[in-house]
Chain A
Amino acid sequence: MNIRTVLTLTVAAIVLAFASWWMGQQSYTWFPPQAAAEAKLFDDLFSFLVMLGTFIFLGVTGTILYSVLFFRAGRYDYSDGPPIEGNVPLEIVWTAIPLLLVFWIAGYSYQIYEQMAIRGPMELVHLHMPSMMESAYAAPADEGTEPVEEIEVHAKQWAWVFRYPEQDVTSTELHLPIDHRVRLALQSEDVIHGFFVPAFRIKQDVIPGKTIDFEFTPIRVGKYRLRDSQYSGTYFAAMQADVVVESADDYQQWLAMAASTPPQPAYNRAAAEYQASQKALVPGWKTIPPAPPPVVNYAPKHEATSPPV
């Protein structure tokens, strides 16, 4: 390699590196607000992967585009290119670099996963390696001294019901205290659903016949959207709920208010749509009827209202 090639390659690498860094910074704007401690960890990891990915993508496509522009055969040029069949050192390098990158990405992802300490399901069909599980479980993101808030989540076709066992309060809106570790007990009555709050960057399937513990820490006051993420049948897309993250005082007030309210039916979009569809001129195919609107202490009479992100 002569000095000119080395210089050109260096300049190209610097330009690529800058473009990749810029893209990595951009990636933070592609998401809903960071409403949980897990979201911050996620966004950092994603930004890192975007940066690496941009570098590789621009490197490869840049080389291809350069070839397309500058290595074209002339119209009547029927000669062949140089018969280069390989280059062992080069091939070793481009095997070793991806291998190292893979270990780097896997290592970093593992670290982030440990910090998230999302308590996964503990049994099901799988074997255990308790020694490895514990480290992931015993290191919550915020080593808070506050007690963990335990809430039951009941999913059914197609409604979410939340139950606060200590106060025996039920609701179709999930209220959470800010800066508290929250532990949800996820249960499904019928099919598999998915608990997914994009602003928290986490999700967990809800498997019928099992109770799955799921932990995270909300860190930003606001109203966010909970969606069913595992396709669950006809009204799957309508199975949404609001998640309200509020200060500890507001949270206690809300719990007290809900506890003193007698249970009544909440609005349920699936049930409402099903009612309407019975009168439709052109009906669709027959569906499993939705569960009746849940009867709960805190029963909003309207659809989920969290603002768009």
Chain B
Amino acid sequence: MTNIPVEAIGVAREQPYPGAPDNWKRFFSFSTDHKVIGIQYLVTSFFFFLVGGIFAMILRGELITPEADLVDRTVYNVMFTMHGSVMLFLWTFPSLLGLANYLVPLMIGARDMAFPRLNAVAFWMVPVVGILMIGSFLVPGGPSQSGWWAYPPMSMQNPTGNLITGQVLWILAVAISGVSSIMGGVNFVTTIVKMRAPGMTFFKMPVFVWTVLAAQLIQLYGLPALTAGAVMLLFDIVFGTGFFDPTKGGNPVLFQHFFWFYSHPAVYVIILPIFGVFSEIFPVYARKPLFGYKIVAVSALIITVVSGIVWVHHLYVSGTPGWMRMFFMVTTMCVAVPTGIKVFAWTATIWGGKLRLDTPMLFALGGLINFVFAGITGIMLASTPIDLHVNNTYFVVGHFHYVLYGAMVFGLFAAIYHWFPKMTGRMYYEGLGKLHFWLAFIGNALNFIPMHPAGLMGMPRRVASYDPEFAFWNVLASLGAFLLGMSTLPFILNMVSSWVQGKKAPDNPWRAIGLEWLVSSPPPVENFEELPVVIAEPYGYGKNEPLTEAQRKELAEA
């Protein structure tokens, strides 16, 4: 695809543009610049990461002793519900969207997203979701206490009898978040399919773009199910319909199908862009081409397809017949194949390279190791007989925190450090970055490894109190959690001080190959004065080949 829809760019150009590119006020405006929106997403979601983190500290504070003594049980239940909801709907998804927003147009050589205004609308729905979630603390009866799954009939119980409850606000927030994400999905898929620079065929796209495409396709097919399920639940609660209410002939397990049909693939929406980040970062800091570029790219799309037929592994104990348990066991395990291809490809990329352990590389390596561990416990969980014991125990909690913190958050930090010079035009402080990495790596292990043995011994998740036999592992986990909380401080210090007074960054501080590194740091308003013509595959490290036509001419002249 080489033609550029000129109209879309025209819309972006006609926007009243407040000031020069380094004017900070534009970050608080309804800007249609994908780079501004990207940073808006990242900063907003990071604020909610801190909010969710404070909830986590309260949870671990309660769990450092077996008795329910720090907070009331209802408060504990609110805390774990809001911890999960805020971390997923207000940190994980928006932060990854922010990264993709910033990088995708730059990486494919486009001047903006396909629908810049839709992009801004999708972003500005995130603060609305946040206000609804946090605002639910103020309604009588408090926020939702039903966990981020909100399984009926428990989520339909309403002790206060009010119409507007925390649960109702929670469902509204989730539905709005779903609509926002569908808007994002439409925008990304269109941008990637239609707006690539001349010469950039699919197999010349960086893997990050492939993984964003794969992830956003999941949003498009999966989110309607969740959003419909949420609306039906809302109707059950507010209007007294009986979709999921067993006393009215409804079926509560049906909700679980709606919920997990999206919410399991959602895990791949989260992890796929991180696979993309790994694929971008390893070649740069190992100075070698990505091993098996094409198969790594295609395996992202294979995951998109397979992830659509695995959701019942969350329902092994919910009341599913044997054949269903067996079928979904096999499909779930099959995810390991395309994932394994990627892991081996990254390992082979590093092998024999010239490694530089800058902060982004440290976070990417740490994230990869954590991900391998999480993948292995994931295969165990896929096995039905294993899941019959460990389902809904702390083993699962340990597993998915290893995915979400160990792999996803690590990958995101790697990306933020790696592209920080591009986004801000400043270098970050390497020493603080390394301190951040080591605190995070040790904190992550100390926090989440002990959850596995606690779960194997039979400690259920979501408990406010537990039996003394689990105390040892919980004390370790709580200490790890506090360390992990502290690890964020050097990061904040680093980001704020570097952005304000860091050393000026050159266009390409990492000697990386990619269109985003050919423009200035930070990039000009519409990215490329002249659209680049791509003539080579990405990751040409050690090959000394030009990436664009302009570079080829330069080389020929020299």
Contacts and interface: CB of A to CB of B under 8 A. Distances in A.
Interface of A: 30-32, 38, 41-42, 45-46, 49, 53, 56-57, 60-61, 63-64, 67-68, 71-73, 77-87, 90-91, 94-95, 98-99, 101-102, 105-106, 109-110, 112-113, 116, 118, 120-122, 124-126, 128-129, 132-133, 136-137, 190-192, 194, 196, 198-199, 201-205, 207-210, 212, 225, 227-238, 273, 277, 280, 282-288, 308-309
Contacts of A237: 68, 73, 460, 462-466
A78 B247 CA distance: 71
Contacts of B153: 190-192, 208
B147 A282 contact: no
Contact of A122 (B321, B351, B356, B463): B321
A73 B145 contact: no
Given A63-B347, A209-B246, A124 B251 contact: yes
Interface residues of B, number: 106
Nearest to A135: B322
A68 B358 CA distance: 12
Nearest to A109: B383
Contact of B457 (A101, A125, A309): A309
A199 B456 CA distance: 10
A235 B73 contact: yes
B393 interface: yes
Question: Which 5 residue pairs are nearest across A and B when measured between Cβ atoms?
Answer: A198-B458, A284-B72, A209-B246, A80-B542, A308-B469
Interface stretch (B21-29, B291-299, B482-490, B514-522): B291-299
Given A113-B325, A237-B68, A80 B333 contact: no
B163 to A, nearest CB: 15
B379 interface: yes
Interface string B130-168: 000000000011100111000101100101100000000
B38 to A, nearest CB: 30
Contacts of A202: 388-389
Contacts of B78: 285
B453 A73 contact: no
A32 B458 contact: yes
7 contacts: A68-B350, A81-B354, A106-B330, A196-B392, A237-B464, A284-B73, A286-B159
Nearest to B465: A237
A82 B354 CA distance: 9
B350 A67 contact: yes
Interface string B241-267: 000001100011110010000000000
B292 A113 contact: no
B353 interface: yes
Contacts of A136: 322
Contacts of B293: 85-86
B323 interface: yes
Contacts of A231: 146-147, 151, 154, 392, 461-462
A73 B287 contact: yes
B292 A71 contact: no
Given A105-B379, A126-B324, A280-B72, 11 more contacts: A46-B386, A56-B372, A60-B344, A73-B355, A78-B511, A106-B329, A120-B320, A125-B254, A192-B153, A231-B146, A284-B72
Interface string B541-554: 11100000000000
A90 B348 CA distance: 10
Given A98-B340, A201-B389, A207-B252, A109 B384 contact: yes
B279 to A, nearest CB: 13
B287 A80 contact: yes
Interface string B425-468: 00000000000000000000000000001001110111111111
A185 to B, nearest CB: 14
Contacts of B141: 285-286
Contacts of B333: 102, 105-106
Nearest to A286: B159
B336 interface: yes
B291 A57 contact: no
A121 B321 contact: yes
Contacts of A235: 73
Given A95-B341, A203-B392, A288 B159 contact: yes
Nearest to A78: B511
A125 B318 CA distance: 11
Contacts of B466: 237
Interface in B377-403: 377, 379-380, 383-386, 388-389, 391-393
A261 to B, nearest CB: 28
Contacts of A120: 319-322, 325
B253 A201 contact: no
Contact of A110 (B254, B329, B379): B329
A121 B320 contact: yes
A238 B321 contact: no
Given A81-B288, A203-B391, A229 B73 contact: no
Given A57-B372, A71-B355, A110-B329, A234 B74 contact: yes
B175 interface: no
A127 B72 CA distance: 43
Contacts of A60: 343-344, 347, 369, 372
